[in-house]
Structure 1
Amino acid sequence: MLIEDGFPGQRMLVMPRPRVTAALARPGTSHLVVTDAGYFPEARAHGLVRASGAPQSIVIVCTRGRGWAEVAGTRHTVSAGQVIVIPPETPHAYGADDDDPWTLWWLHVAGRDLEEFLKTAGLTAAAPVRELSDVYRVVALVEEVVQAMERDQTIASVLAASGAAWHLMALLCSERIAGTPQVSAIDQARDYLRQHVTERVSIDELARLARLSPSHFAALFKQQTGSSPLRYQTHLRMSRARELLDVTNLAVSVVAERVGYTDPFYFSRQFKSVHGVTPLQYRGQRKG
């Protein structure tokens, strides 16, 4: 039996339909509106069938595992690093692989620019699956949408979500253009780590997104940065912690939490290993 949602750790936002109608008529958001968005980690038994399609276009980014999508009667396999874009009013079904269920970031979009985006990107019912050259950036934009919708449903948040979605659709269009310069997998990984400072990201996850083996990815990363991916992220976290210690009066335990550490004592040890002093000693130093 297929499960539509309810996965541990999921994030799912749905805009009330009267607000969608208002946003589609409002200057600034009428070009593109996000009606639904979310994140489903390791979505075992996930799946959905829409015999008549959906009023919006559906964008699904697979970052881990595998799945399938049947669009307009044709079945496609989907794996990590690929995106599915289903046009509006198109019959479809999709689901997770039984043995290696996918992890998804997804959103539904509508608006007067949508048709032009789909046409330019070449994403049709006959060709709904695309290999992504910059998975990190695409995921970051979907997450930006989710974060905006999680804040509240004010005009400002709706605008922020629309802007990120517009950027995402433009990125999908640009990936289709021949000769577009490709950012290296390691540059993409560094950007991803900068955008996910508070999350513990594994080498396996980064390697999957880069479509490299973990050992090859780790070797390339160290060759180009002089550091392992996890050490690189630790330095990013400590840089952010240093900033919070400099410009706020937050307790060290709160600073630790803000940069992704649940254990303030472990955070202090990590901070000292990077800076040579404890967080409190650092805060007491004269600077400037």
Structure 2
Amino acid sequence: MSVQVDTSNWPLPANGVRFITPPRLRRLLARSPLAQGCYPLALGFYPQAQGHRMHRPHPEDHLLIYCRAGQGWLETADGRLAVSGGDLLLLPKGVMHGYGADVDKPWTLYWVHFDGDLVTEFLKPLGKGPLWRIGVQPRLLAEFDALLNLRKQGLNLAHFVHAAHQLQVLLTSLAVLPARTTLKSGRVLDVDAVQAVMRAHLHDALNLDELAAQFKLSRFHFAKTYRALTGHAPIQDFIQLKMAHACRLLDEGEQGIRQVAEQLGYDDVYYFSRLFRKVVGMAPSHYRALHQG
């Protein structure tokens, strides 16, 4: 384990934050069964970071940066990317990178360096980065602020184990943040809006053409964009939502399986049962039996 964490020496203003986990506590976290999977090495908040820049040719830890406002840039082996408010950067261990604030509109950012035995597993659901344009997410800002409270606590292991769990929650929450993208037409495709349409049609049928038409896109462009945002086909997610609702109906009521199928727009109860088994892992009758006795 390296004694130092490779952070910038950017001069902190009064409302800036930079906090390094002491080496003794890093060693304890790396050995703790409760924290060793993923734990913070350093964290901070840089407001309007004029002149901030870093080049890390051989980073020994992972780095998460969330740009709250302003602008900056990221440089990797694949080239240079512009960064603006609402962008998230995930820079993995061992991969060369550089970044810095825009001269005219310097960024305001949260950041955390981290490591651990299970970091790769925590990052896997996020897919390929290194930049995600997720927008300014109030919940994510609150999670960074909660993590930064670590600097106000005593230097005992319990506080740092708790901070490790907060970091793990933050990372896992990224996989379920509402995803959106701006299309070439200038319109925004928002996964939350798409799934709201899906929920409005849980009791009937909805095919890909009808769903794409709701957002004035071709079937192909809609399906490709949705999959790029979520990793799933849109109809796959629609079926998942239907089966989740089927579970609620089976949990809450005395309706028969045929009636549940009909409520979800399936005339063929056998087809419904096959879908339910595929998604839930058991037949509807077996699922209902879990709540009996």
TM-score by length of 2: 0.56
CA RMSD of the aligned region, Å? Answer: 2.1
What secondary structure, in the 3-state scheme, does the structure 2 residue paired with 1:55 have?
A: coil
Q: In the alignment, is the contact (CA less than 8 A) between 2:65 and 2:90 conserved in 1? A: yes
Q: 1:49 aligns with which of 45, 52, 55?
A: 55
Residue-pair matches, total:
176
Q: Which runs of 4+ in 1 moved over 4 A?
A: 176-182
Change (3 A) 1:113 1:76: same
Partner of 1:29: 35
Between 61-70 and 130-139, report the one with greater CA deviation: 130-139
Change (3 A) 1:66 1:134: closer
Deviation at 1:177, TM superposition (A): 8.0
Q: 2:162 aligns with which of 144, 160, 167?
A: 160
Q: In the alignment, is the contact (CA less than 8 A) between 1:69 and 1:76 conserved in 2? A: yes
Change (3 A) 1:91 1:176: farther
In structure 1, C-alpha distance between the alignment counterparts of 2:151 and 2:96, rounded to whole Å: 27
Aligned AA (1:140): A
Between 7-16 and 70-79, report the one with greater CA deviation: 70-79
Partner of 2:146: 144
Which residues in structure 2 correspond to 1:194-273 (within 5 Å)? none
Change (3 A) 1:31 1:133: same
TM-score by length of 1: 0.57
Q: In the alignment, is the contact (CA less than 8 A) between 1:67 and 1:77 conserved in 2? A: yes
Q: Which runs of 5+ in 1 are unaligned?
A: 183-288
After superposition, what is the alpha-carbon deviation per residue over 1:8-59, rounded to whole angstroms, capped at 9, x for unaligned? 121110012232122011111111110000000000010011111x222100
Partner of 1:82: 87
Partner of 1:6: 11
Q: In the alignment, is the contact (CA less than 8 A) between 1:149 and 1:157 conserved in 2? A: no
In structure 2, C-alpha distance between the alignment counterparts of 1:65 and 1:133, rounded to whole Å: 12
In structure 2, C-alpha distance between the alignment counterparts of 1:137 and 1:168, rounded to whole Å: 10
Deviation at 1:94, TM superposition (A): 0.4
Deviation at 1:150, TM superposition (A): 3.0
Q: In the alignment, is the contact (CA less than 8 A) between 1:57 and 1:88 conserved in 2? A: yes
In structure 2, C-alpha distance between the alignment counterparts of 1:108 and 1:176, rounded to whole Å: 24
Change (3 A) 1:158 1:79: same
Change (3 A) 1:96 1:134: closer
Partner of 2:274: none
Aligned AA (1:167): V
After superposition, what is the alpha-carbon deviation per residue over 1:125-176, rounded to whole angstroms, capped at 9, x for unaligned? xx21111256211121111111123312211210221111111100112238
Partner of 1:253: none
Structure number with bigger Rg: 2
Q: Which runs of 5+ in 2 are unaligned?
A: 1-7, 181-189, 194-293
In structure 1, C-alpha distance between the alignment counterparts of 2:121 and 2:111, rounded to whole Å: 20
Partner of 1:128: 130
What secondary structure, in the 3-state scheme, does the structure 2 residue paired with 1:42 have?
A: coil
Aligned AA (1:67): G
Which residues in structure 2 correspond to 1:15-26 (within 5 Å)? 15-26=21-32
In structure 1, C-alpha distance between the alignment counterparts of 2:151 and 2:179, rounded to whole Å: 31
Q: In the alignment, is the contact (CA less than 8 A) between 2:71 and 2:105 conserved in 1? A: yes
After superposition, what is the alpha-carbon deviation per residue over 1:175-202, rounded to whole angstroms, capped at 9, x for unaligned? 38899747xxxxxxxxxxxxxxxxxxxx
